[in-house]
Structure 1
Amino acid sequence: MTRTIIVYTLPTAYDMLDSELLPKLIKGHDIKLEMPIMREEATDLWIVNIQSRLSFRRRTNANSQKVVIPDQLQTDLGPSPIQLLPLELLSYIFLLSVEPSLFPNTVASALTLSRVCSVWRATVATDPRLWSSTSIHIVPNQKWRDLLILLSTRSGDRPLSLELIWHPTRGDKEYNISISNTLYRQLPLLSPRWHRLQLFVPLDIVALILDYAPLPNLEFLSLGSECEEPPVLNWTQLDHAPNLRTLSFAALRSRPIWWDMPWSQLTELNSKSLLSGPQAVFLLSRCPNLERCQLRVESARFEHEEEDEDVLVVVPKLKSLSLVLGGFDDIWRLFGLFRRLVFPSLDRLEFRDAVQNDSVVGGLYKKHYWVGEFLVPLLDRSECSLEAFRVVLVGGSSHIELGFEGGTLVDRSRTRE
């Protein structure tokens, strides 16, 4: 009979390893491994290799010695269940629990896992993949410094993914200078290896990381810094970050329109920063290769901007567009931006209303607006065909979510208690 071990998450692995199931499987049954689809190469050959090593471990364990103790119970002197798993499988369990694209909340995930047992400590110490992605939250202790050093020394030459969070302590100038000096010493050395960066740090540290040296491996960049004026970066479109494809502005006042970035090579752009309609159009005009985009548009904040309504902006590769809407004081200025846009490849469109309220506030009754009179001409002009469309409107007592996906109508509207 063939048993199946399915490893998806770390807690599942713990349940399996701490029970008597694994020794029984290895001694008496074949093992078939079913893994989630790996992010990179190595699937079939990788699994065959793991199965081969498990088979060897099973044969070794079958020959382990037994001793009889006075109460007639038998104790197995063979290796512990966790030692029966090869390093590749332990590493993969770890990688599943520390998904680099999500960045866990824990500050030192690799160090946390190394405390489980000696086998995990050996795994953590010897596999550079486990150190190539981490999240560092700078707080008043020394642990984050150790983690930063280990990120550099234990990751080998692998590309690095880092989420760095630091909000300087007000009134403690000496402490802040000490942290800055540490970052200035450590971060520039890693410039050639950055693959993904999420930065929630002061602007001088942002400039240090992004502008010190070329970033040949950087593909994903998220900026969470509030700024009145972004730093001047000496980037050129072709040689400083040639592989940058995804750019995200994660702060409400990160002001993407002021940043000097290699816009034309981006395939994905996300911004939580407030933009007027003309500003959103301007950003789209700078990104001709964009495929996915999410912007927050709030026209009420910008009342005196001019736009050239006769110039069309064509984004030929854009497939997915999501707009978070607000500031409906001038509905024509907000949705009028569609009159200038052409999206020949658009197949997914979403409108999200983050600030609307269907109750009386300050004597005014705010209404929800339908965008059909602007949307239909956009689709006709672009000659595109939507496969998915969604409108999400959140009011004081209701949540309206309507749309379609493929040929199916979707209505997830509900009344909020």
Structure 2
Amino acid sequence: MSMSSSRSSSAFHYSAHLPASKSPAQYLPFDVLNEIFKYLPDLQLVKELEAEVISPKTGPYILRPEKYPWSLSRVCSAWRAAAIYEPRLWSRVHLEVGPRQPSQGKVQLLQLYLSRSRNSNLSVSLHCTWTGRARDNALLTMLFTTIGRWQSLSLHALAISLPLFNALGPFPMLESLHLYVAHQAKTPPLANVHHIFRHAPRLHTIRHRHSDDRSVFMMPLDQLKVYQGPTSSIPPESGCQWLSNLQWCALAVNGQQPGWDSMEVNAPHMREFSIQERVHAYNTTAILDILTLPVLEVLRVKSAGRDRLCDSITGLLDRSMCILTELCLDIPDLIAPIMDAILILTPQLVKLRITSKRLVPDFVESWIYDPKTHADNPCILQHLEQLDLGRSTFTPSAEIALLQMVRSRWEIPEKMTVEKYFGGPAVHSIVRLRSIQVPYKFQRTKRSQKKILRVWKEEGLDIQFGPGSQNRL
């Protein structure tokens, strides 16, 4: 008898003696179950970290006995023993503390949950609308005894609830912090300075959920690797040199930082930088003018105005001499001179996303291939793979100009046939383009162009339409 046949016969013999009412999973050895349970908390993580800040209900709500991970201990005695033995299974604390006193049953569940986590580090997601004293709430009192084990914290709290946390700390194990301070008024006033997270020696990631929050948080900025939040949350006396240590940064400019315009910051590790300003571009340009980002790969700029913005972006790219692969611009009324000046400095772009309130024809006319004028000028978008214009507003003539640009860059000018699409001259083409997104009105207003779009789709181009589209190809 062969080895494979003996294995199959033994497997059949083993399964034949199993009771019909039980699953083979219930007979897994204790050490195998324990190893599987170690990875279950990671499987329960939400993909979008920001959603976890909004409400802990996006993850397993730990005060529901019928939900995960409590349900694992109700399969059988073996599963119960393995679940209780593995502390990492009880290391994610998703908790909602409302304005009312918690029931005794919830307090007992939280006590049992935390006891099973033993000495493991905790990932805490807390949604707090309690406005009384912390010692008057049994859930908060019990949770605050574990502060020394908090490794990550997602805190969603009312502005009037923040004083509950002022007496906390230090946080010796805290590495990641997500904050969402909810204000009852539409325009939040200038809030007080908070010292909650001042003593966190391992903190390296800070994300603020809302860019309108003007609360100031004293934090160890010099040790950060990731920062996302408004500039108003940064203490003025901290300066801007801490930006030089960041690897990823997203700034919401909702106020001018004193002294920043006279500084120079070189961030040698920052690969992705995003900045947005809703009112005008004055503060945005002031920040861009002081930065040098030699390894920058992704740049996102959103502004309600474009005064001096082009000069600031080109100045940043020129100083940094970086190889930019992704560029996202949300600027009103983009015109050809602005885009040409920026794209000349970004020849390695793979993804280009543009959001503009009004795209005029000259925006893309300069990209249309003409053998007479472009014979000695290679295409500046040879590496482009994704072109996203789905949230822009086109003029009717700009729509036609965009189609002409794609057609001229994809086909051999001397052979205008369908079979020769994607076969233009190598140095003058965008043959790497794989995806293009246009506004949903694009195909509805130009039905005569549907044939061209279908041909491109058949040839491999992924054509997508922006929000609101009901009319697909």
Q: Deviations over 1:223-244 (max 9, x none)?
A: 2235711333584xxxx42211
Deviations 1:187-244 (A, max 9, x none): 34212211001112321233233x2xx3222111122235711333584xxxx42211
Aligned to 1:261: 219
Query: Among 349, 355, 363, which residue is 2:299 paired with?
Result: 349
1:220 equivalenced with 2:209 (yes/no): no
Aligned to 1:243: 202
**Matches of 2:382 and 2:62, distance apart in 1:** 43
Q: Pick the aligned partner of 1:118 from 61, 75, 99.
A: 75
Amino acid at match of 1:99: L
Cα distance in structure 1, aligned partners of 2:247 and 2:389 = 29
Q: Give the corresponding residue for 1:315.
A: 267
Give the aligned partner of residue 407 of structure 2. none
Q: CA deviation at 1:382?
A: 2.4
Residue 26 (structure 2) aligns with: 83
1:165–1:309 CA distance, 2 compared to 1 (3 A)? closer
Describe the SS at the equivalent of 2:173.
coil
- How much has 1:125 moved relative to structure 2? 2.9
SS in 1 for 2:146: helix
Superposition RMSD on alpha carbons, in Å?
4.0
User: Is 1:320–1:346's contact at 8 Å kept on the other side of the alignment?
Assistant: yes
The CA distance in 1 between the partners of 2:126 and 2:291, in whole Å, is: 36
1:107 is aligned to 2:107: no
Partner-residue secondary structure (3-state), 2:129: coil
AA aligned to 1:377 is G
> Retained in 2: the 8 A contact 1:100–1:133?
no
Report the TM-score, using the length of structure 2 for normalisation. 0.56
Q: Is the 8 A contact 2:97 2:139 kept in 1?
A: no
* 2:276 aligned residue: 324
What is the percentage of aligned positions where both structures have the same residue? 22
What per-residue deviation string (whole Å, max 9, x for no partner) do you get for residues 238-296 of structure 1? xx42211101222445436x32211100000011x4659x9899764234311111111
Q: Which has the higher strand share?
A: 1
Instruction: Identify the match of residue 161 of structure 1 among 98, 102, 123.
Output: 123
Question: Match for residue 310 of structure 2?
Answer: 372
Give 1:165 deviation, angstroms.
Answer: 0.6
Give runs of aligned pairs for residues 189-204 of structure 1, distance below 5 A.
189-201=145-157, 202-204=161-163
Instruction: Tell me if the contact between 1:180 and 1:205 (Cα under 8 Å) persists in the aligned partners.
Output: no
Moved more, 189-198 or 86-95: 86-95
Number of residues paired by the alignment?
A: 316
3-state SS of 1:386 partner: coil
C-alpha contact (below 8 Å) 2:260/2:287 kept by paired residues? no
Distance 1:346 1:109, change over 3 A: farther
Aligned residue type for 1:131: W
What do the CA deviations read for 1:315-344 (whole angstroms, capped 9, x no partner)? 33222111233112xx34432322222223
SS of match in other structure, 1:192: helix
Match of 2:242 among 286, 292, 296: 286
* CA distance 1:345–1:255, change in 2 (3 Å): farther
Counterpart contact for 2:222–2:242, Cα < 8 Å? yes
Amino acid at match of 1:296: A
Partner AA of 1:81 in structure 2: P
The alignment partner of 2:166 has SS state of: helix
**Distance in 2 between residues matched to 1:253 and 1:60, nearest whole Å:** 66
Distance 1:93 1:241 in 2: 27
What SS does structure 2 have at the residue aligned with 1:137? strand
Give the residue type in structure 2 aligned to 1:381. R
CA contact (8 A) 2:62 2:110 kept: no
Structure with higher Rg: it is: 2
Q: Secondary structure at the match of 1:270?
A: strand
Counterpart-to-counterpart distance in 2, 1:368 and 1:279: 28
> What is the DSSP-based 3-state SS (H/G/I as helix, E as strand, rest coil) of the residue aligned with 1:294?
strand
TM (norm. structure 1) is: 0.63
CA spacing shift, 1:121–1:402, aligned 2, 3 Å: farther
Structure 2 residue runs without a partner (length 5+): 1-6, 53-57, 183-189, 334-351, 356-379, 391-438, 440-466, 469-473
2:245 and 2:134 map into 1 onto residues whose CA distance is 42
- SS of the aligned residue for 1:288 comes to helix
1:128/1:154 contact within 8 Å kept: yes
SS at match of 1:351: strand
Q: Does 1:230 align with 2:193?
A: yes
- Specify every segment of 5 or more residues in structure 1 that has no aligned partner in the other structure, as ranges: 1-26, 30-54, 66-75, 170-175, 357-366
SS in 1 for 2:194: coil
Measured after TM superposition, the shift of residue 177 of structure 1 is 4.1
CA contact (8 A) 1:265 1:287 kept: no
1:124 to 1:370, Cα distance in 2 relative to 1, 3 A: farther
Could you tell me whether the CA contact under 8 Å between 1:199 and 1:206 is conserved in 2? no
Among 44, 67, 83, the residue aligned to 1:98: 44
